[in-house]
Structure 1
């Protein structure tokens, strides 16, 4: 007997002992369980076929990978069994070292072979699973792109038939089938009609129809469930539809196209067929279900669009008309034009034939027509309706809309009874009061030849036009009242400026008379300055008396002041040239008066001090806008101040003190500077300095919102 056989015989005698050893190693209460790693090792160790053991471990490795198990944990568990068996073998063969070596060698050889088989099976399964996942990912990506294409096509501007044809072609390409057909269901006729295929057509072409329950498409439409048939030709109930095509098809997958809204609605059926028998996978079923959902949503959206398109177009037209009327009201104060437009558009948009707008005379409590449409002749213009009479009068009295049918024959107070021809053609009327700030101004009436009441939408449209008409009438009234009030105030203000000018002229005359009678030169000079100031104010008020809204241009003020100052203060033996540059800045009356006084002092100082002892010179006045400020400069070519500017400011005379106090009221400031360069001021050609330079007196004050530039 060989040594190996002897070892196997001894191990067979200690089988129970080895089982208990493995049981302790696994921590189980019994075992080892048949088919487990411990059981397989034990069977191989005591004489089982080693090749069969490796095959079983390889299958176990594949199963481990498929279940998502961990290979390292499995190998660690196997090592625990090997270690336990190794210790037990050492105990069994304590006195037989040769047999112990043979047993351990056999044990470790089995461990190596089984570990390799387990690892090989695991890696093989992992690779196969990875390949399957990669192919599934590629397939899912491809189908996602196909669904995106189908969704994009269904959301495009193509017509429905073209969209369905493209959808059928994409489905056939993706599922690799020969035929994709799409049927639509007609609820009235209870028929399925072929709307699209990817190419092949049945007998009868695109006019091919099926009843509910007929063929596989009719069965799916009737039952509302998917239908999967491996070989449709083997079922006589379904083969009839399949044989309507030139090519014989076997594999079938058909799904209902259902819109799941508040109420489920059958749209049609989509089916795919292959030329060979075929079992379609769940992924393929899911793909076709998504396509059916996309088609259902697209068809339902199209149906809703067709239902609402006309209504939307009408609403857009109504809104555009209302916007146009509102724009006309905001753009013009021509009441006749606005009301005529309202009456015309109210008829066109409400579907009526005639309309008119009444205005209420609050004193006589009667209504008269301001505008009308659809009524001929001048008789309608003479119509008068008392408040409380006729539909129009009752609408004004109650302040609520009135809508009636065939009221003209019974209402003796109706103003239309005077014209039997018109009253015979009119059968319904809607009168809506024109109300602004809880005050009724009149009403708008819409007349129709139809014997039915207007819809709520039409009535709301007329109410909107009524509001627009009320606003137009109120705006016209407010504008007229404002215009009359403004004319009256402007007339009174011009009269006030005229009287102030006359009074100031009287004061100037009295001061001039006093000046001629005085014998003191100092008193005479003082009186002359006062006369100049008073006449400057008088000239300013004369300017305001001839301007609208009590505003004046800066250059007009400057010309008035320069004219007065040159007449009163210019030395008779000197030739002084006065220039006023154009300045279109417009300032209000309050600023006009202050600027006139300030300019008067600045021009007077330029004449008295700058031109003193000179036989000729130039005084220039100019204004501009600079960073939100009004800047006015008086430039003279004279000698300038006798004292330095610092001393002049510390001991300033009445003129400079008056300037600074007046400018404080305008939040302005004053500056006086001497320019010694021989160059003339910028943008002032022809101004030649005489005494080596020129003097610039400047005032600045804010250009407020009421200060506007003249056009």
Structure 2
């Protein structure tokens, strides 16, 4: 260990204390003592960073008094112990690891007696304690000076000076060391207050950051489990508590508060008995609309502090946030105000999530009812179509048969859309799905048995609302039926194309065939046929669009329906 001390001293440099038995004349005049005290005061006030300041003080005091080593112990009132915080000439690895009770060793004796203890031969002193980790064995003489505040009377710590050679500290040096220790105590107190203020500032910043995150949370998610988890975790971070629980109050007062979320300590702390008492606190909070604090016994010798904060929306409490802590959370009005702001923000976030969840469940119920309605309407339409088909088969003339089969086709087209809406989304579908269902029904209902028609549908990218879907089903059925009846009347095969596109919210649906085609200059507005009258009325009145029918240059007919879609970008709740 002596070799280690030599290494420490080589790093620091030679001092005036080595190789001398006394220090007569070092601080022999008042001017020298005043100048030395000024240097020590300057070193003590040069920085508010506690660790840096303590190392500087130890170095300057050691050099000023011509000693070989200097150490600084600070008093910890929570444990009534002295903790090594700085050393020069001793093992730097011992800093923070040496702890002395009051009265232990020369250092502890000086702290307990609140007076300077100069010892010429430290090893022979009855209070001497050897600390191998500290490396104090080579030092013969030792002076311990308590650092204390006079008003209020409070111990700050102890500063130690040591020399390798035996040295007697005279009364003037002892008085000087006592004065210097008082100055250093004031500087340390200022640094401690600065550290506490700085830590409190960082804590306030952290608390404000948590409140900002809570505000962002209100607007960022409506998923109730996620909201509860985030609120619980952030409440624990804000209060630094053992655990946080969120309880929901039942408005009927017949049921106990419901535990919605838990974060932190487990069942070893939050026993059933503890939670029973906490639920009683929640009832008090909801009734009084104010904070309730209580100390609850967890087990013999163990208690937990509980603070229950109301979650207020408007003039009612929807529940409470319960914070479990090892110690009282304090009576700082600003901190309590911040906690209430947090709990109110949490209440808004939770209420919004619950309203959204309730709306989503209501939507799901409504969707199920609408799907069931679509299913029953489809079945009824199929029944009507079947009755009309039976009537058509028993008709005595083609004049009666053709209109009946056309009506069957229209009814089955509508039934097909109700089938689509009952099995998938109740509010929207694609033109492609509509076209495929309608052409399948038309092929069965109105296509002559000796005619083969191929269909090419390209319309899966255009979405329409349920109302538009019904209208388009009737329109496509009319256009396909007309192609069967007029375009392919003298042919055994043909081709029909159905495509759709959308641009700037304007949808275009086209039905093209390669049949005989309409005459040149054909005007659908001057046609008296029922089918085209229905198509024109549906397009203009129901879709608020336009209808055009033209002859294709390569042969056949092209029908175009143009309308502005009323489908919203997001018109469903998932």
TM range (shorter): 0.5 to 0.7
Is 2:572 the counterpart of 1:695? no
> Is this contact kept in 1: 2:257–2:279, CA < 8 A?
no
> Is this contact kept in 2: 1:574–1:616, CA < 8 A?
yes
Is 2:424 the counterpart of 1:547? yes
- In the superposition, relative to structure 1, how do residues 432 and 627 fare at CA in structure 2: closer, same or farther (>3 Å)? same
Structure 2: runs of 5 or more not aligned: 1-37, 48-59, 61-193
Which residue in the other structure is 1:660 paired with?
536
Report the Cα offset of residue 567 of structure 1.
1.8
> Is this contact kept in 1: 2:431–2:462, CA < 8 A?
yes
Alignment deviations for residues 142-200 of structure 1 (CA, whole Å, 9 cap, x no partner): xxxxxxxxxxxxxxxxxxxxxxxxxxxxxxxxxxxxxxxxxxxx9x97999999xxxxx
- In the superposition, relative to structure 1, how do residues 575 and 338 fare at CA in structure 2: closer, same or farther (>3 Å)? closer
> Is this contact kept in 1: 2:459–2:501, CA < 8 A?
no
What SS does the corresponding residue of 2:471 show, helix, strand or coil? Answer: helix
Is 2:210 the counterpart of 1:321? yes
Is 2:289 the counterpart of 1:399? yes
Query: In 1, distance between residues paired with 2:354 and 2:46?
Result: 68
> Is this contact kept in 1: 2:239–2:329, CA < 8 A?
no
Which residue in the other structure is 2:382 paired with?
505
> Is this contact kept in 2: 1:368–1:381, CA < 8 A?
no
Query: In 1, distance between residues paired with 2:274 and 2:325?
Result: 21
1:300-699 correspondence runs (5 A): 313-327=202-216, 330-332=219-221, 335-363=224-252, 364-377=254-267, 380=270, 382=272, 390-403=280-293, 407-408=294-295, 416-417=296-297, 419-421=298-300, 424-426=302-304, 429-451=306-328, 453-642=330-519, 644-646=521-523, 648-663=524-539, 664-676=541-553, 692-699=554-561
Report the Cα offset of residue 700 of structure 1.
1.4
What SS does the corresponding residue of 1:607 show, helix, strand or coil? Answer: helix
Alignment deviations for residues 389-416 of structure 1 (CA, whole Å, 9 cap, x no partner): 854332211112345xxx53xxxxxxx3
What SS does the corresponding residue of 2:449 show, helix, strand or coil? Answer: coil
> Is this contact kept in 1: 2:459–2:498, CA < 8 A?
no
Alignment deviations for residues 628-687 of structure 1 (CA, whole Å, 9 cap, x no partner): 1111110111111247313x42133111211121122221111111121xxxxxxxxxxx
1:253-272 correspondence runs (5 A): none
- In the superposition, relative to structure 1, how do residues 516 and 449 fare at CA in structure 2: closer, same or farther (>3 Å)? closer
Query: In 2, distance between residues paired with 1:581 and 1:455?
Result: 70
Report the Cα offset of residue 499 of structure 1.
1.3
- In the superposition, relative to structure 1, how do residues 307 and 567 fare at CA in structure 2: closer, same or farther (>3 Å)? same
- In the superposition, relative to structure 1, how do residues 625 and 658 fare at CA in structure 2: closer, same or farther (>3 Å)? same
> Is this contact kept in 1: 2:227–2:350, CA < 8 A?
no
> Is this contact kept in 1: 2:290–2:310, CA < 8 A?
yes
Report the Cα offset of residue 494 of structure 1.
1.3
Query: In 1, distance between residues paired with 2:290 and 2:415?
Result: 60
What SS does the corresponding residue of 1:380 show, helix, strand or coil? Answer: coil
Query: In 1, distance between residues paired with 2:528 and 2:245?
Result: 75
What SS does the corresponding residue of 1:583 show, helix, strand or coil? Answer: coil
Which structure: larger Rg? 1
> Is this contact kept in 2: 1:621–1:632, CA < 8 A?
yes
Query: In 2, distance between residues paired with 1:670 and 1:308?
Result: 78
- In the superposition, relative to structure 1, how do residues 599 and 379 fare at CA in structure 2: closer, same or farther (>3 Å)? farther
> Is this contact kept in 1: 2:249–2:283, CA < 8 A?
no
Query: In 2, distance between residues paired with 1:456 and 1:193?
Result: 33
> Is this contact kept in 2: 1:352–1:447, CA < 8 A?
yes
- In the superposition, relative to structure 1, how do residues 533 and 370 fare at CA in structure 2: closer, same or farther (>3 Å)? closer
> Is this contact kept in 2: 1:367–1:393, CA < 8 A?
yes
Alignment deviations for residues 535-554 of structure 1 (CA, whole Å, 9 cap, x no partner): 11111111111112332211
What SS does the corresponding residue of 1:613 show, helix, strand or coil? Answer: coil
Which residue in the other structure is 1:215 paired with?
none
Query: In 2, distance between residues paired with 1:508 and 1:608?
Result: 20
> Is this contact kept in 1: 2:250–2:257, CA < 8 A?
yes
Query: In 2, distance between residues paired with 1:328 and 1:389?
Result: 27
Report the Cα offset of residue 596 of structure 1.
0.9
Query: In 2, distance between residues paired with 1:493 and 1:507?
Result: 21
Structure 1: runs of 5 or more not aligned: 1-185, 196-206, 208-304, 409-415, 677-691
Report the Cα offset of residue 605 of structure 1.
1.6
Matched pairs, number: 393
> Is this contact kept in 2: 1:387–1:393, CA < 8 A?
no
> Is this contact kept in 2: 1:586–1:708, CA < 8 A?
no
User: TM-score, normalised to structure 1's length?
Assistant: 0.49
Alignment deviations for residues 399-435 of structure 1 (CA, whole Å, 9 cap, x no partner): 12345xxx53xxxxxxx34x2358x444x54321112
Report the Cα offset of residue 361 of structure 1.
2.7
1:238-249 correspondence runs (5 A): none
RMSD: 3.9
What SS does the corresponding residue of 2:426 show, helix, strand or coil? Answer: helix
Query: In 2, distance between residues paired with 1:317 and 1:343?
Result: 16
> Is this contact kept in 2: 1:359–1:441, CA < 8 A?
yes
1:199-278 correspondence runs (5 A): none
Query: In 1, distance between residues paired with 2:511 and 2:274?
Result: 69
- In the superposition, relative to structure 1, how do residues 335 and 536 fare at CA in structure 2: closer, same or farther (>3 Å)? closer
User: TM-score, normalised to structure 2's length?
Assistant: 0.60
- In the superposition, relative to structure 1, how do residues 527 and 545 fare at CA in structure 2: closer, same or farther (>3 Å)? same
What SS does the corresponding residue of 2:507 show, helix, strand or coil? Answer: strand
- In the superposition, relative to structure 1, how do residues 633 and 324 fare at CA in structure 2: closer, same or farther (>3 Å)? same
Higher share of residues assigned helix = 1
Query: In 2, distance between residues paired with 1:577 and 1:470?
Result: 61
- In the superposition, relative to structure 1, how do residues 697 and 389 fare at CA in structure 2: closer, same or farther (>3 Å)? closer
Query: In 2, distance between residues paired with 1:452 and 1:475?
Result: 29
Alignment deviations for residues 53-81 of structure 1 (CA, whole Å, 9 cap, x no partner): xxxxxxxxxxxxxxxxxxxxxxxxxxxxx
What SS does the corresponding residue of 1:361 show, helix, strand or coil? Answer: coil
